[in-house]
Amino acid sequence: MEYRRLGKSGLKVSAIALGSWLTYGTVTEERTAEACVHKAFELGINHFDCANVYGAEPHAAERVLGRALREYPRESYVVTTKAFWPVGAGPNDRGLSRKHIIGEVEKSLTALGVDYVDIFYCHRFDPETDLEETLRAIDDLITQGKILYAGFSEWSPVQIADGVRLQKELGLHRFVASQPLYNMLNRGIEAEVIPLCAREGIGQVVFSPLGQGVLTGKYRPGQQPPAGSRGATPEVQAFMRRYLQSEILQKVEELAAVARRYDLTLARMALAWVLRLPEVSSALVGASRPEQVEENVKAAGVVLPEEALREIDRILGA
Ligand code: NDP
């Protein structure tokens, strides 16, 4: 396994990280979820991503992940959580107010069974809360040792710049992690978010690097999604609709042909592709089976030749 620094922090995270959205605490049976976490540890993954809303009910995924992690020394892994999305119907059951962030972090610590989380993310930007309130709440949690580092997910360049400027002005702990969507089919962060974060010492932990499984090549144009896949699972398949379109699947077939020419699986090529950027600290994958963890970890250390990168750009019209 390769380990990379998270932005300019001293924290080292595995190039491949394991997440739990739509899997653990949702449709993946608990023993299989635990087997995925154990396989990840065995193969050198030290970075496990979670959120208060992952799972069939709030904190459900954290409970599953926490039980699996309990076997390992606390210092050997990095575990994350997030807050923003609604966890109930009440007016304070969402957002980035001081009340919601601090209340949710407490519940996340209990669900995970840990004294601190390594990285806390603002799961989205909250236009209804004054940014200073959010940043001060995070700073207090860091000072109390309940979270060690902080980041944001899918903030716009303006929101990131405002956040960093305020943290500097107020002398608060600075963000070190950005968690955006990034894969060969979604390159929106390349123009502004990546350079801005690089200037501010913020590393990228990119989610859905496999396009929720599409960039493994298992979804074929004109065919039904394979049995047991996310695309064929009623509870979660709606999240994949953006990818299961014939135009996209045709492009994926062409990408798979490039991977074969370089003796790679498409999954490995897709992960090596996001990791080609030094600004990317971890490629954050999901896995519904331990075999997927095994396959995905093989991408760490793969360097794609310039020629392959050019072919990929040509197919994607980039
Ligand atoms: P991926 O693009 O890695 O897709 C993961 C899914 O693809 C797996 O659950 C599995 O689904 C399938 N898969 C994975 N590896 C293979 C393989 N080798 N061969 C075949 N199929 C494979 O990422 P996700 O979209 O799941 O996101 C990863 C993590 O990122 C999440 O768990 C979460 O922690 C984080 N995330 C954060 C978000 C945010 O807003 N901050 C949003 C989304 C995700 P199956 O077997 O069921 O088909």
> What is the pLDDT averaged over residues 194-214?
98
- The answer on pLDDT for 22 being more than 90 is no
**Predicted TM-score of the model (pTM):** 0.97
The catalytic residues are: 54
Give every CB contact of residue 91 below 8 A, 6+ residues apart in sequence.
Answer: none
Taking CA atoms only, the protein residue closest to ligand 1 atom 16 is: 292
- The answer on pLDDT for 28 being more than 90 is no
Query: Would you place residue 295 in the very low, low, confident or very high pLDDT band (cuts 50, 70, 90)?
Result: very high
Query: Would you place residue 27 in the very low, low, confident or very high pLDDT band (cuts 50, 70, 90)?
Result: confident
- The answer on pLDDT for 25 being more than 90 is no
Looking at residue 234, what is its pLDDT? 87
> Which atom of ligand 1 is least distant from the CA of 233?
47
User: Predicted ipTM?
Assistant: 0.99
The preferred substitution site among 284, 297, 302 for testing ligand 1, maximizing ligand atoms within 8 Å of CB, is 284
Taking CA atoms only, the protein residue closest to ligand 1 atom 37 is: 207
Residues with C-beta less than 6 Å from any ligand 1 atom: 19-23, 49, 153-154, 179, 207-213, 216, 218, 229-230, 267, 284-288, 292, 295-296
> Which atom of ligand 1 is least distant from the CA of 214?
7
| Ligand 1 centroid to residue 287 C-alpha, Å | 6
pLDDT tens digits, residue range 213-260?
A: 999 999 999 899 999 999 988 888 889 888 998 999 999 999 999 999
Query: Nearest 5°: phi and psi at 120?
Result: -110, 130
Q: What is the DSSP string of 139-178?
A: HHHHHTTSEEEEEESS--HHHHHHHHHHHHHHTPPPP-EE
pLDDT over 90 percentage in the chain: 90
| Ligand 1 centroid to residue 188 C-alpha, Å | 19
- What angle (nearest 5°) sits at the alpha carbon of residue 186, between those of residues 304 and 7? 70
- The answer on pLDDT for 16 being more than 90 is yes
> What is the pLDDT averaged over residues 11-28?
92
Mean pLDDT across the chain, nearest whole number?
Answer: 96
> What is the pLDDT averaged over residues 126-148?
98
> Which atom of ligand 1 is least distant from the CA of 285?
3
Residue from 72, 60, 127 nearest 97 by CA:
127
3-5/12-14 β-pairing: antiparallel
